[in-house]
Structure 1
Amino acid sequence: MTDDHQLTPPEIAAAEPADWRYVLGRLKTRFRTPDFATGSALVADLGSLTAEGRRPQVTLSETDVVVAVPGRADAGITRGDVEAAERITEAARRHGATPDPGGVTQVELGLDTSGPDGLAPYYAALLGSEVQRGEPVDVSGQAPTVWWQTPEPADDGDPLPDPVVPQRWHLDVWVGHDEGPRRLQAVLDAGGRLVSDAAAPSYWVIEDADGNRSCICTPANRDG
Protein backbone atom coordinates (compact mmCIF):
# COMPACT_ATOMS: atom_id res chain seq x y z
CA MET A 1 0.00 0.00 0.00
CA THR A 2 1.47 3.36 -1.04
CA ASP A 3 1.66 6.41 1.24
CA ASP A 4 -0.81 8.32 -0.96
CA HIS A 5 -3.43 5.54 -1.08
CA GLN A 6 -6.71 6.88 0.32
CA LEU A 7 -7.83 4.62 3.15
CA THR A 8 -11.38 3.34 3.46
CA PRO A 9 -13.27 3.88 6.75
CA PRO A 10 -12.48 0.33 7.98
CA GLU A 11 -8.81 0.86 7.07
CA ILE A 12 -8.80 4.18 8.92
CA ALA A 13 -10.35 2.54 11.99
CA ALA A 14 -7.64 -0.13 11.93
CA ALA A 15 -4.77 2.33 11.35
CA GLU A 16 -5.92 5.20 13.59
CA PRO A 17 -3.11 6.11 16.01
CA ALA A 18 -4.00 5.63 19.67
CA ASP A 19 -3.78 9.34 20.48
CA TRP A 20 -5.80 10.53 17.45
CA ARG A 21 -9.43 10.33 16.37
CA TYR A 22 -11.01 10.25 12.92
CA VAL A 23 -13.47 13.17 12.94
CA LEU A 24 -15.20 14.70 9.89
CA GLY A 25 -12.71 13.50 7.31
CA ARG A 26 -9.50 14.14 9.22
CA LEU A 27 -7.29 12.66 11.90
CA LYS A 28 -7.43 15.06 14.82
CA THR A 29 -6.07 15.36 18.34
CA ARG A 30 -5.47 17.87 21.12
CA PHE A 31 -2.20 18.23 23.01
CA ARG A 32 -2.23 19.74 26.49
CA THR A 33 0.76 22.03 27.00
CA PRO A 34 2.20 23.38 30.27
CA ASP A 35 2.64 26.87 28.78
CA PHE A 36 2.36 28.89 25.57
CA ALA A 37 6.08 28.56 24.82
CA THR A 38 5.78 24.76 24.74
CA GLY A 39 2.87 24.94 22.33
CA SER A 40 4.69 27.43 20.11
CA ALA A 41 7.76 25.18 19.94
CA LEU A 42 5.62 22.21 18.95
CA VAL A 43 3.84 24.19 16.25
CA ALA A 44 7.21 25.28 14.85
CA ASP A 45 8.10 21.60 14.31
CA LEU A 46 4.90 20.59 12.53
CA GLY A 47 5.83 21.78 9.04
CA SER A 48 8.62 19.22 8.75
CA LEU A 49 6.50 16.31 10.01
CA THR A 50 3.86 16.13 7.25
CA ALA A 51 4.09 15.51 3.52
CA GLU A 52 4.18 18.35 1.01
CA GLY A 53 0.63 19.33 0.13
CA ARG A 54 -0.75 17.58 3.23
CA ARG A 55 -0.17 20.37 5.72
CA PRO A 56 -2.06 20.11 9.01
CA GLN A 57 -4.59 22.56 10.37
CA VAL A 58 -3.34 23.87 13.71
CA THR A 59 -4.93 25.88 16.51
CA LEU A 60 -2.61 27.21 19.22
CA SER A 61 -3.82 28.52 22.56
CA GLU A 62 -2.22 29.13 25.95
CA THR A 63 -2.89 25.57 27.12
CA ASP A 64 -3.52 23.51 23.98
CA VAL A 65 -2.39 22.69 20.47
CA VAL A 66 -5.16 21.17 18.32
CA VAL A 67 -3.96 19.46 15.14
CA ALA A 68 -5.93 18.02 12.21
CA VAL A 69 -4.24 15.96 9.46
CA PRO A 70 -4.62 16.67 6.60
CA GLY A 71 -5.69 20.30 6.85
CA ARG A 72 -8.46 19.87 4.26
CA ALA A 73 -11.36 17.65 5.28
CA ASP A 74 -12.04 16.56 1.69
CA ALA A 75 -8.50 15.37 0.99
CA GLY A 76 -9.02 11.82 2.28
CA ILE A 77 -6.87 10.00 4.82
CA THR A 78 -3.72 8.30 3.49
CA ARG A 79 -1.15 5.99 5.04
CA GLY A 80 1.23 8.95 4.93
CA ASP A 81 -1.20 10.98 7.06
CA VAL A 82 -1.29 8.20 9.66
CA GLU A 83 2.49 8.12 9.78
CA ALA A 84 2.60 11.93 10.03
CA ALA A 85 0.18 11.81 12.97
CA GLU A 86 2.45 9.33 14.73
CA ARG A 87 5.48 11.58 14.15
CA ILE A 88 3.55 14.58 15.53
CA THR A 89 2.70 12.63 18.69
CA GLU A 90 6.37 11.75 19.16
CA ALA A 91 7.34 15.40 18.73
CA ALA A 92 4.66 16.49 21.20
CA ARG A 93 5.97 14.11 23.84
CA ARG A 94 9.52 15.42 23.33
CA HIS A 95 8.21 18.92 23.98
CA GLY A 96 6.39 17.82 27.13
CA ALA A 97 2.88 18.04 25.66
CA THR A 98 0.28 15.45 26.63
CA PRO A 99 -2.20 13.97 24.09
CA ASP A 100 -5.87 14.37 25.03
CA PRO A 101 -7.88 12.70 22.24
CA GLY A 102 -10.99 12.56 24.43
CA GLY A 103 -11.24 16.32 24.11
CA VAL A 104 -11.41 16.28 20.30
CA THR A 105 -14.52 18.10 19.06
CA GLN A 106 -15.69 19.49 15.70
CA VAL A 107 -18.95 21.42 15.34
CA GLU A 108 -21.18 21.77 12.27
CA LEU A 109 -24.35 23.84 11.97
CA GLY A 110 -27.37 22.11 10.43
CA LEU A 111 -30.25 24.17 9.01
CA ASP A 112 -33.67 22.83 8.06
CA THR A 113 -34.54 24.23 4.63
CA SER A 114 -36.21 23.16 1.39
CA GLY A 115 -34.13 25.58 -0.72
CA PRO A 116 -30.43 25.28 0.15
CA ASP A 117 -29.12 26.36 -3.25
CA GLY A 118 -29.95 29.99 -2.61
CA LEU A 119 -28.61 29.98 0.95
CA ALA A 120 -25.04 28.79 0.48
CA PRO A 121 -23.68 32.07 -0.98
CA TYR A 122 -25.40 34.08 1.76
CA TYR A 123 -23.93 32.09 4.64
CA ALA A 124 -20.53 31.91 2.96
CA ALA A 125 -20.48 35.70 2.79
CA LEU A 126 -21.77 36.06 6.36
CA LEU A 127 -19.18 33.67 7.84
CA GLY A 128 -16.27 34.70 5.62
CA SER A 129 -16.32 31.23 4.06
CA GLU A 130 -16.39 29.84 0.53
CA VAL A 131 -18.90 27.50 -1.10
CA GLN A 132 -17.58 23.95 -1.51
CA ARG A 133 -19.92 21.24 -2.84
CA GLY A 134 -22.91 23.43 -2.00
CA GLU A 135 -21.91 24.19 1.62
CA PRO A 136 -20.18 27.20 3.20
CA VAL A 137 -16.73 26.04 4.35
CA ASP A 138 -14.18 28.17 6.19
CA VAL A 139 -10.79 26.72 5.25
CA SER A 140 -9.14 28.70 8.07
CA GLY A 141 -11.23 26.84 10.66
CA GLN A 142 -12.65 29.97 12.30
CA ALA A 143 -16.30 29.32 11.44
CA PRO A 144 -18.19 26.01 11.46
CA THR A 145 -19.37 24.39 8.26
CA VAL A 146 -23.07 24.84 7.52
CA TRP A 147 -25.01 21.94 6.02
CA TRP A 148 -28.64 21.56 4.98
CA GLN A 149 -31.35 19.22 6.21
CA THR A 150 -34.73 18.87 4.54
CA PRO A 151 -37.60 19.29 7.01
CA GLU A 152 -39.28 16.02 6.03
CA PRO A 153 -38.81 13.27 8.66
CA ALA A 154 -36.33 10.57 7.81
CA ASP A 155 -37.78 7.31 6.59
CA ASP A 156 -35.83 5.13 9.00
CA GLY A 157 -38.71 3.35 10.72
CA ASP A 158 -38.09 5.25 13.95
CA PRO A 159 -39.08 8.91 13.47
CA LEU A 160 -38.26 11.42 16.15
CA PRO A 161 -41.06 12.81 18.31
CA ASP A 162 -42.18 16.30 17.39
CA PRO A 163 -40.04 18.99 19.03
CA VAL A 164 -41.46 21.00 21.91
CA VAL A 165 -40.24 24.32 20.44
CA PRO A 166 -39.87 25.45 16.80
CA GLN A 167 -36.30 24.91 15.65
CA ARG A 168 -34.54 25.17 12.29
CA TRP A 169 -30.93 25.31 13.46
CA HIS A 170 -29.18 22.53 15.35
CA LEU A 171 -25.62 21.68 16.33
CA ASP A 172 -23.86 18.56 15.10
CA VAL A 173 -21.07 17.99 17.60
CA TRP A 174 -18.54 15.50 16.19
CA VAL A 175 -16.33 13.52 18.56
CA GLY A 176 -14.10 10.45 18.36
CA HIS A 177 -15.53 6.95 17.97
CA ASP A 178 -15.09 6.21 21.67
CA GLU A 179 -16.16 9.58 23.05
CA GLY A 180 -19.87 9.52 22.15
CA PRO A 181 -21.21 7.74 25.25
CA ARG A 182 -19.09 9.88 27.58
CA ARG A 183 -20.18 13.10 25.91
CA LEU A 184 -23.80 11.95 26.02
CA GLN A 185 -23.57 11.19 29.74
CA ALA A 186 -22.04 14.59 30.40
CA VAL A 187 -24.96 16.23 28.59
CA LEU A 188 -27.50 14.19 30.56
CA ASP A 189 -25.74 14.99 33.85
CA ALA A 190 -25.95 18.68 32.91
CA GLY A 191 -29.72 18.57 32.54
CA GLY A 192 -30.07 17.49 28.91
CA ARG A 193 -32.51 14.87 27.66
CA LEU A 194 -32.00 11.97 25.26
CA VAL A 195 -34.50 12.20 22.40
CA SER A 196 -33.31 9.20 20.41
CA ASP A 197 -30.45 6.70 20.35
CA ALA A 198 -31.86 4.71 17.42
CA ALA A 199 -28.85 5.57 15.24
CA ALA A 200 -26.22 5.11 17.97
CA PRO A 201 -23.27 4.90 17.92
CA SER A 202 -23.37 6.99 14.71
CA TYR A 203 -25.30 9.73 16.50
CA TRP A 204 -27.57 10.52 19.44
CA VAL A 205 -30.30 13.17 19.32
CA ILE A 206 -30.46 15.24 22.49
CA GLU A 207 -32.22 18.38 23.66
CA ASP A 208 -31.74 21.06 26.30
CA ALA A 209 -34.20 22.07 29.00
CA ASP A 210 -35.98 24.39 26.55
CA GLY A 211 -36.36 21.62 23.95
CA ASN A 212 -33.65 22.79 21.51
CA ARG A 213 -32.11 19.77 19.82
CA SER A 214 -28.57 18.86 18.84
CA CYS A 215 -26.73 15.71 17.78
CA ILE A 216 -23.65 14.03 19.18
CA CYS A 217 -22.01 12.39 16.15
CA THR A 218 -19.18 9.88 15.73
CA PRO A 219 -17.66 8.10 12.70
CA ALA A 220 -18.81 4.70 14.00
CA ASN A 221 -20.95 2.54 11.70
CA ARG A 222 -20.64 4.96 8.78
CA ASP A 223 -19.62 4.35 5.18
CA GLY A 224 -17.64 7.56 4.85
Structure 2
Amino acid sequence: MTDKQERLTSTQVRDANLADWRQILGRLKARFRTGDFATGLALVDKIGEVAEDSDHHPGILFTYSDVIVTLVSHDVRGITSRDLDLARRISSLAAELEIESDVSGITQLELGLDTSLGEGLAPFYAALLGGAVDSGEPDDPSGQVPTVWWQEPDGTDETYALPEQSFEQRWHFDVWVPHDEGERRLQAVLDAGGRLVSDRAAPAYWVVEDADGNRSCICTPAGR
Protein backbone atom coordinates (compact mmCIF):
# COMPACT_ATOMS: atom_id res chain seq x y z
CA MET A 1 0.00 0.00 0.00
CA THR A 2 1.29 3.46 -0.91
CA ASP A 3 2.18 5.85 1.91
CA LYS A 4 -0.24 8.78 1.82
CA GLN A 5 2.75 11.13 2.18
CA GLU A 6 4.66 9.58 -0.74
CA ARG A 7 4.84 11.56 -3.97
CA LEU A 8 3.60 9.43 -6.85
CA THR A 9 5.27 9.07 -10.24
CA SER A 10 3.44 9.99 -13.45
CA THR A 11 3.13 6.27 -14.21
CA GLN A 12 1.50 5.58 -10.84
CA VAL A 13 -0.94 8.43 -11.47
CA ARG A 14 -1.87 7.07 -14.91
CA ASP A 15 -2.24 3.55 -13.51
CA ALA A 16 -4.86 4.88 -11.07
CA ASN A 17 -7.21 5.16 -14.10
CA LEU A 18 -8.91 8.39 -13.09
CA ALA A 19 -11.05 8.93 -16.18
CA ASP A 20 -11.98 12.54 -15.33
CA TRP A 21 -8.48 13.64 -14.31
CA ARG A 22 -5.12 14.31 -15.91
CA GLN A 23 -1.71 15.17 -14.51
CA ILE A 24 -0.50 18.66 -15.39
CA LEU A 25 2.68 20.22 -13.93
CA GLY A 26 2.73 17.99 -10.87
CA ARG A 27 -0.99 18.42 -10.21
CA LEU A 28 -4.20 16.56 -10.90
CA LYS A 29 -6.69 18.58 -12.89
CA ALA A 30 -10.28 18.01 -14.00
CA ARG A 31 -12.72 20.12 -15.99
CA PHE A 32 -16.42 19.59 -15.35
CA ARG A 33 -18.84 20.99 -17.93
CA THR A 34 -21.60 22.24 -15.64
CA GLY A 35 -23.35 24.36 -18.27
CA ASP A 36 -24.86 26.93 -15.92
CA PHE A 37 -24.09 28.81 -12.71
CA ALA A 38 -26.54 26.99 -10.43
CA THR A 39 -25.28 23.53 -11.41
CA GLY A 40 -21.68 24.63 -10.97
CA LEU A 41 -22.43 26.10 -7.56
CA ALA A 42 -24.11 22.86 -6.46
CA LEU A 43 -20.99 20.91 -7.44
CA VAL A 44 -18.67 23.37 -5.69
CA ASP A 45 -20.75 23.13 -2.51
CA LYS A 46 -20.51 19.33 -2.52
CA ILE A 47 -16.77 19.45 -3.22
CA GLY A 48 -16.38 21.78 -0.26
CA GLU A 49 -18.13 19.31 2.02
CA VAL A 50 -15.93 16.34 1.07
CA ALA A 51 -12.81 18.51 1.18
CA GLU A 52 -13.57 19.53 4.75
CA ASP A 53 -14.38 15.94 5.65
CA SER A 54 -11.03 14.72 4.28
CA ASP A 55 -9.06 17.77 5.47
CA HIS A 56 -7.55 18.04 1.99
CA HIS A 57 -8.55 21.06 -0.05
CA PRO A 58 -8.48 21.48 -3.85
CA GLY A 59 -8.08 24.59 -5.93
CA ILE A 60 -11.30 25.49 -7.75
CA LEU A 61 -11.89 27.76 -10.73
CA PHE A 62 -15.62 28.39 -11.02
CA THR A 63 -17.08 30.01 -14.14
CA TYR A 64 -20.58 30.11 -15.61
CA SER A 65 -20.05 27.00 -17.75
CA ASP A 66 -17.24 25.09 -16.03
CA VAL A 67 -15.78 24.00 -12.73
CA ILE A 68 -12.06 23.30 -12.97
CA VAL A 69 -10.57 21.47 -9.99
CA THR A 70 -6.87 21.13 -9.16
CA LEU A 71 -5.42 18.73 -6.59
CA VAL A 72 -1.89 18.68 -5.17
CA SER A 73 -0.25 17.74 -1.88
CA HIS A 74 1.63 20.93 -1.09
CA ASP A 75 3.71 19.34 1.66
CA VAL A 76 5.48 17.11 -0.87
CA ARG A 77 5.06 19.42 -3.91
CA GLY A 78 3.35 16.72 -5.93
CA ILE A 79 0.55 14.17 -6.20
CA THR A 80 -0.06 11.61 -3.43
CA SER A 81 -2.70 8.97 -2.75
CA ARG A 82 -4.60 11.65 -0.82
CA ASP A 83 -5.17 13.43 -4.12
CA LEU A 84 -6.24 10.23 -5.87
CA ASP A 85 -8.77 9.50 -3.11
CA LEU A 86 -10.26 12.98 -3.23
CA ALA A 87 -10.33 12.93 -7.04
CA ARG A 88 -12.44 9.77 -6.97
CA ARG A 89 -14.86 11.31 -4.48
CA ILE A 90 -15.21 14.46 -6.59
CA SER A 91 -15.85 12.41 -9.72
CA SER A 92 -18.58 10.54 -7.87
CA LEU A 93 -20.21 13.82 -6.88
CA ALA A 94 -20.16 15.03 -10.48
CA ALA A 95 -21.68 11.75 -11.65
CA GLU A 96 -24.48 12.05 -9.08
CA LEU A 97 -25.28 15.50 -10.51
CA GLU A 98 -25.02 14.10 -14.08
CA ILE A 99 -22.18 16.50 -14.89
CA GLU A 100 -19.75 15.39 -17.58
CA SER A 101 -16.00 15.96 -17.54
CA ASP A 102 -13.89 17.13 -20.48
CA VAL A 103 -10.25 16.08 -20.36
CA SER A 104 -9.58 17.37 -23.89
CA GLY A 105 -9.66 20.97 -22.69
CA ILE A 106 -7.23 20.62 -19.77
CA THR A 107 -4.25 22.96 -20.15
CA GLN A 108 -1.72 24.84 -18.03
CA LEU A 109 0.53 27.64 -19.32
CA GLU A 110 4.07 28.07 -18.00
CA LEU A 111 6.53 30.79 -19.04
CA GLY A 112 10.16 29.84 -19.62
CA LEU A 113 12.97 32.42 -19.74
CA ASP A 114 16.25 31.39 -21.34
CA THR A 115 18.86 32.73 -18.92
CA SER A 116 21.66 31.63 -16.63
CA LEU A 117 20.70 34.36 -14.14
CA GLY A 118 17.31 32.97 -13.12
CA GLU A 119 17.85 32.81 -9.39
CA GLY A 120 18.95 36.44 -9.30
CA LEU A 121 16.00 37.53 -11.45
CA ALA A 122 13.41 35.65 -9.38
CA PRO A 123 12.68 38.51 -6.91
CA PHE A 124 12.02 40.91 -9.81
CA TYR A 125 9.51 38.64 -11.52
CA ALA A 126 7.89 37.67 -8.23
CA ALA A 127 7.32 41.37 -7.53
CA LEU A 128 6.15 42.04 -11.08
CA LEU A 129 3.62 39.20 -11.00
CA GLY A 130 2.46 39.84 -7.45
CA GLY A 131 3.80 36.64 -5.93
CA ALA A 132 6.77 35.43 -3.90
CA VAL A 133 9.95 33.45 -4.54
CA ASP A 134 9.54 29.72 -3.89
CA SER A 135 12.42 27.29 -4.52
CA GLY A 136 14.22 29.91 -6.60
CA GLU A 137 11.29 30.70 -8.90
CA PRO A 138 8.39 33.19 -8.80
CA ASP A 139 5.22 31.64 -7.46
CA ASP A 140 1.67 32.96 -7.24
CA PRO A 141 -0.34 30.86 -4.74
CA SER A 142 -3.58 32.45 -5.97
CA GLY A 143 -3.08 30.97 -9.44
CA GLN A 144 -3.81 34.23 -11.25
CA VAL A 145 -0.69 34.20 -13.41
CA PRO A 146 1.33 31.44 -15.11
CA THR A 147 4.29 29.93 -13.34
CA VAL A 148 7.75 31.07 -14.46
CA TRP A 149 10.89 28.96 -14.71
CA TRP A 150 14.45 29.37 -16.01
CA GLN A 151 15.98 27.38 -18.84
CA GLU A 152 19.74 27.62 -18.54
CA PRO A 153 21.92 27.29 -21.65
CA ASP A 154 23.05 23.68 -21.91
CA GLY A 155 24.42 22.16 -25.09
CA THR A 156 25.68 18.95 -23.51
CA ASP A 157 22.55 16.85 -24.06
CA GLU A 158 21.93 16.18 -27.75
CA THR A 159 18.37 15.10 -27.01
CA TYR A 160 17.49 18.65 -26.04
CA ALA A 161 19.71 20.49 -28.53
CA LEU A 162 17.67 22.65 -30.90
CA PRO A 163 18.44 24.17 -34.30
CA GLU A 164 19.88 27.68 -34.07
CA GLN A 165 17.67 30.69 -34.76
CA SER A 166 18.59 33.76 -36.77
CA PHE A 167 17.42 35.96 -33.87
CA GLU A 168 17.51 35.71 -30.10
CA GLN A 169 14.30 34.59 -28.38
CA ARG A 170 14.44 34.74 -24.60
CA TRP A 171 10.83 34.02 -23.59
CA HIS A 172 8.84 31.00 -24.69
CA PHE A 173 5.54 29.39 -23.77
CA ASP A 174 5.46 25.95 -22.19
CA VAL A 175 1.92 24.72 -22.77
CA TRP A 176 1.23 21.70 -20.54
CA VAL A 177 -1.35 19.14 -21.62
CA PRO A 178 -2.22 15.61 -20.43
CA HIS A 179 -0.10 12.65 -21.50
CA ASP A 180 -2.70 11.59 -24.06
CA GLU A 181 -3.31 15.07 -25.49
CA GLY A 182 0.17 16.02 -26.75
CA GLU A 183 -0.05 14.66 -30.29
CA ARG A 184 -3.54 16.08 -30.81
CA ARG A 185 -2.43 19.49 -29.60
CA LEU A 186 0.62 19.31 -31.88
CA GLN A 187 -1.55 18.47 -34.89
CA ALA A 188 -3.88 21.38 -34.10
CA VAL A 189 -0.87 23.72 -34.05
CA LEU A 190 0.40 22.36 -37.36
CA ASP A 191 -3.07 22.67 -38.92
CA ALA A 192 -3.12 26.30 -37.77
CA GLY A 193 0.06 27.13 -39.69
CA GLY A 194 2.66 26.26 -37.07
CA ARG A 195 5.87 24.32 -37.75
CA LEU A 196 7.42 21.43 -35.85
CA VAL A 197 10.99 22.38 -34.92
CA SER A 198 11.93 19.29 -32.91
CA ASP A 199 10.33 16.11 -31.59
CA ARG A 200 13.58 14.65 -30.22
CA ALA A 201 12.34 14.87 -26.64
CA ALA A 202 8.80 13.64 -27.38
CA PRO A 203 6.59 12.68 -25.65
CA ALA A 204 8.05 14.88 -22.89
CA TYR A 205 7.75 17.87 -25.21
CA TRP A 206 7.58 19.02 -28.83
CA VAL A 207 9.10 22.33 -29.94
CA VAL A 208 6.97 24.31 -32.37
CA GLU A 209 7.19 27.77 -33.87
CA ASP A 210 4.78 30.27 -35.37
CA ALA A 211 5.07 31.80 -38.84
CA ASP A 212 7.28 34.54 -37.40
CA GLY A 213 9.73 32.04 -35.89
CA ASN A 214 8.71 32.36 -32.22
CA ARG A 215 9.06 29.03 -30.48
CA SER A 216 6.97 27.33 -27.82
CA CYS A 217 6.85 23.86 -26.28
CA ILE A 218 3.93 21.44 -25.98
CA CYS A 219 4.74 19.56 -22.77
CA THR A 220 3.35 16.41 -21.14
CA PRO A 221 4.33 14.42 -18.02
CA ALA A 222 5.18 11.40 -20.19
CA GLY A 223 8.75 10.33 -20.84
CA ARG A 224 10.21 12.26 -17.89
TM-score of the two chains, using structure 2 as the length reference: 0.92
Q: CA deviation at 1:76?
A: 2.4
Q: Which residue of 1 aligns with 2:58?
A: 56
Alignment of 1:8-157 (within 5 A): 8-50=9-51, 51-52=54-55, 54-70=56-72, 72=74, 75-153=77-155, 155-157=157-159
Distance 1:140 1:106 in 2: 14
TM-score of the two chains, using structure 1 as the length reference: 0.92
Query: CA-to-partner distance for each residue in 1:131-151, whole Å, 9 max, x for gaps?
Result: 110000111110111100113
- Structure 1 pair 84/209, CA: closer, same or farther in 2 (3 Å)? same
**Unmatched segments (≥5 aa) in structure 1:** none
- Structure 1 pair 167/200, CA: closer, same or farther in 2 (3 Å)? same
User: In the alignment, residue 175 of structure 1 is paired with which amino acid?
Assistant: V
Q: Which residue of 2 aligns with 1:182?
A: 184
> Across the two proteins, how many residue pairs are aligned to each other?
221
Query: CA-to-partner distance for each residue in 1:152-211, whole Å, 9 max, x for gaps?
Result: 435225621112442100000111000000000000011100000011111000000100
Query: CA-to-partner distance for each residue in 1:66-105, whole Å, 9 max, x for gaps?
Result: 1111274953222221121111111112223210011110
Q: Which moved more, 1:37-46 or 1:64-73?
A: 64-73
* Percent pairwise identity: 58
Give secondary structure in 2 for the equivalent of 1:209. Answer: coil
**Unmatched segments (≥5 aa) in structure 2:** none
User: In the alignment, residue 15 of structure 1 is paired with which amino acid?
Assistant: A
RMSD of Structure 2 on Structure 1 (CA):
1.8
User: In the alignment, residue 144 of structure 2 is paired with which amino acid?
Assistant: Q
Distance 2:2 2:49 in 1: 20
Distance 2:36 2:216 in 1: 34
